Structure 1
Amino acid sequence: MSTDTASAAKGIRTARGAADRPARTPEERRAARREGWARRGPLLPALIFTIIVTQIPFLMTIWYSLRSWNLLRPDGQTFVWFQNFVDIFMDSTFRSAALNSILITVGCVFAALILGTLFAILLDREFLGRGVVRTLLITPFLIMPAATSMLWSVSLLNPSFGLLNWVIGLFGVAPIDFTSQLPLFSVIMALVWQWTPFMMLLILAGLQAQPKDVLEAAALDGAGWGKTFLFVTLPQLRRYMELAVLLGAIYVVNTFDQIYLMTAGGPGTASANLPFYIYQRAFLGFDIGQAAAMGVVTVIATIIIATFALRLIFRSFDAKD
């Protein structure tokens, strides 16, 4: 029996079962409704709190984005409707900040995913001191972003006494002012260092969840480590990798601390991403209307990308089931 025929037969059986089932009386429907509210009732405080914390500020942001409001001219508030959105898309700095956000997010997420996968493969094996090594590899993710930024900008990337310049100096390379000459690369390095443990933990969970009998069957069939990883382990890890990419991208796209403390968006606005440029427009340029419009565009773009990624993840889960 084909898949379509089986699905049609199942639908017919379901329809017949629903037709044979006696209709519920009004009292039964009211009882079922009360039971449903009794189950949902404990969740209502959390739902109300979430709406107050997230949706009301977002609605206020939309309200501000439709107005021309500069703090230097507090009496000049007027409705301009979508003019702020037109202005920001005509702003070359905004487009540059959007491109920087994409470069930082893509570079950090995929570099951290590759390194996290390598570390997870190493930690999936038994060796002496594995617990200590695992703790040391997780540590960067537990450090505050502000401390991470200062560690990289001062201790590692400083052109005068940074550890990285000392290492490359051993090979006769002149000192490099990374945060000035390579600002995006410097920020990505700090973010990769911080987010690699997160990717490692997710991939390690996927490695430890794969069925051992499948690996044993591949070994009995004569498959080497490379073929086993490529055709058995990697498909098993797909959903974990997709989840890691999604969560990592959502967090990294909102990066602010590293840019503020390491490069201050410079030189000029060469390393400014969208959150940092919104901060500049709101708190340095005092233009609340345009900053709010940028925030709305950023949130909508993030929601669209996250929704698309979630659909892919759910589709892979359904296919697996």
Structure 2
Amino acid sequence: MSTPSSTPSLSSRVRAPRAARGGPAAVPVPPPRTGPRVAWARRAPLLPALVFMIAVTQLPFVGTLVISFMRWNALDPGDRGFAGLSNYKAEFTDPTLRSSLTTTVVLTAAVVLVSLALGLGLALLLDRRFPGRGVVRTLLITPFLVVPVASALLWKHALYNASYGLLNGVLTWVWKLFGSSDAPQPDWLSQSPKLAVEASLIWQWTPFMMLILLAGLQSRPHDVVEAARVDGANSWQVFRHLTFPHLRRYLELAALLGTVYVVQNFDAVFTLTSGGLGTANLPYAVYSTFYQAHDYGQASAEGVIVVVLSIIVATFALRTVSSLLREEIR
């Protein structure tokens, strides 16, 4: 009879490793490694991209910021030095430069608001089911896929041209329907230059607004909408009390992103009017000051102002995106 000390207890047999019971040996799980070395090892693959981004974006901006405080005109190379805030003061006091700033604000506001309204109407249309909806959606998205310079050239020659443009051709056709051959043939680019630039940009950016708002419409809780219709709500009441409050964040996001892009627009202004007739915005003013006046300090100050305005708007856009993501997670 064995003594109790020589017989293993039940708890010791349970705690014994599997190798002692004839099974495969248990593989111990190492604790997770932490520390600064591990953190740097995880970030190391991202360092080349970070260095490339700094070299491509941040260093040129720092150089532009430094030049914006300098008095530097290539036509007068002997007069170069530190100018302080005089370049920024000229931006807000010089009538021409102040006009470009005002034109930028007016052009951006008009394009964003009208594109937003048209995009909302098209999104509400495409949210309904009808034959050929896929084809219509593809055709409506197409203007946003056109290269901006090609879009401006299309409007300048195919639509606005006073001799063979589509708009004047339609006017001639309508006047002939009423028996008159004396149809007006306005020169759109010279008589309504700002409206001409705004129309081309609205045509280009309305599909962008439509896509964002259509995504918002398709994320609506359809059971709530159906319950409201069962309770007797008409289409206007559903839109006012359910659809529009749900789209508020998407409207803000579309407006902010559209503002970021439109405030930097250069292609339409340069191609359609070459900055003449009061259509020169800040990006065109930067081009004109740098390449025509050769005033590098003033052009750098204007570029910094454009970047600062874009950063301010982009900050609000990022906050709106983060709030949308938080709502989706909830």
- The TM-score range, normalised by the shorter chain, is 0.7 to 0.9
Match of 2:311 among 303, 307, 314: 303
1:306 offset after TM fit, Å?
3.0
- Summarize deviations over 1:180-237 as a string: whole Å, max 9, x none: 1111100010001011111111111111111111111111111111110111011111
Distance 2:131 2:97 in 1: 51
Task: Give the stretch that moved more between structures: 44-53 or 218-227.
Answer: 44-53
- 5 Å-filtered alignment, 1:232-251, equals 232-251=242-261
Distance 1:183 1:66 in 2: 34
Name the residue aligned to 1:24.
Answer: none
- Summarize deviations over 1:251-281 as a string: whole Å, max 9, x none: 01111111111001112xx100000011000
| Counterpart contact for 2:160–2:166, Cα < 8 Å | yes
SS at match of 2:265: coil
1:61 offset after TM fit, Å?
0.3
- 1:40 maps onto 2:55 in alignment: no
- 1:168 maps onto 2:178 in alignment: no
- 1:155 maps onto 2:155 in alignment: no
Q: Which runs of 5+ in 2 are unaligned?
A: 1-30, 176-181
Match of 2:301 among 293, 301, 312: 293
- 1:70 maps onto 2:73 in alignment: yes
| Counterpart contact for 1:246–1:309, Cα < 8 Å | yes
Match of 1:252 among 262, 266, 278: 262
| Counterpart contact for 1:113–1:199, Cα < 8 Å | yes
- 1:186 maps onto 2:212 in alignment: no
Distance 1:65 1:218 in 2: 58
CA 1:299–1:233: 2 relative to 1, 3 Å: same
Name the residue aligned to 2:230.
Answer: 220
Amino acid at match of 2:48: P
| Counterpart contact for 2:275–2:281, Cα < 8 Å | yes
- Summarize deviations over 1:282-307 as a string: whole Å, max 9, x none: 00001001100111122122222332
| Counterpart contact for 2:168–2:185, Cα < 8 Å | yes
- Summarize deviations over 1:24-77 as a string: whole Å, max 9, x none: xxxx99824344334433333222222221111110001111111111223432
CA 1:97–1:34: 2 relative to 1, 3 Å: same
Amino acid at match of 2:198: I
1:317 offset after TM fit, Å?
6.3
Amino acid at match of 1:262: L
| Counterpart contact for 2:257–2:317, Cα < 8 Å | no
| Counterpart contact for 1:242–1:313, Cα < 8 Å | no
| Counterpart contact for 1:153–1:262, Cα < 8 Å | yes
User: Computing the radius of gyration over CA atoms, which structure comes out larger, 1 or 2?
Assistant: 2
Tell me the TM-score normalised to structure 2 length: 0.83
Match of 2:141 among 123, 138, 142: 138
| Counterpart contact for 2:162–2:187, Cα < 8 Å | yes
Match of 1:278 among 286, 290, 295: 286
| Counterpart contact for 1:148–1:190, Cα < 8 Å | yes
| Counterpart contact for 1:61–1:296, Cα < 8 Å | yes
Name the residue aligned to 1:5.
Answer: none
CA 1:95–1:219: 2 relative to 1, 3 Å: same
Match of 2:85 among 72, 82, 85: 82
| Counterpart contact for 2:253–2:320, Cα < 8 Å | no
- 5 Å-filtered alignment, 1:14-53, equals 31-53=34-56
| Counterpart contact for 2:162–2:185, Cα < 8 Å | yes
- 1:264 maps onto 2:274 in alignment: yes
| Counterpart contact for 1:274–1:298, Cα < 8 Å | yes
Tell me the TM-score normalised to structure 1 length: 0.85
Identity %: 48
Distance 2:41 2:242 in 1: 45
Distance 1:44 1:283 in 2: 36
- Aligned Cα root-mean-square deviation (Å): 2.1
1:312 offset after TM fit, Å?
5.5
Distance 2:49 2:238 in 1: 45
| Counterpart contact for 2:115–2:209, Cα < 8 Å | yes
Q: Which runs of 5+ in 1 are unaligned?
A: 1-27
| Counterpart contact for 1:113–1:241, Cα < 8 Å | yes
Distance 2:138 2:81 in 1: 55
How many equivalent pairs are there?
292
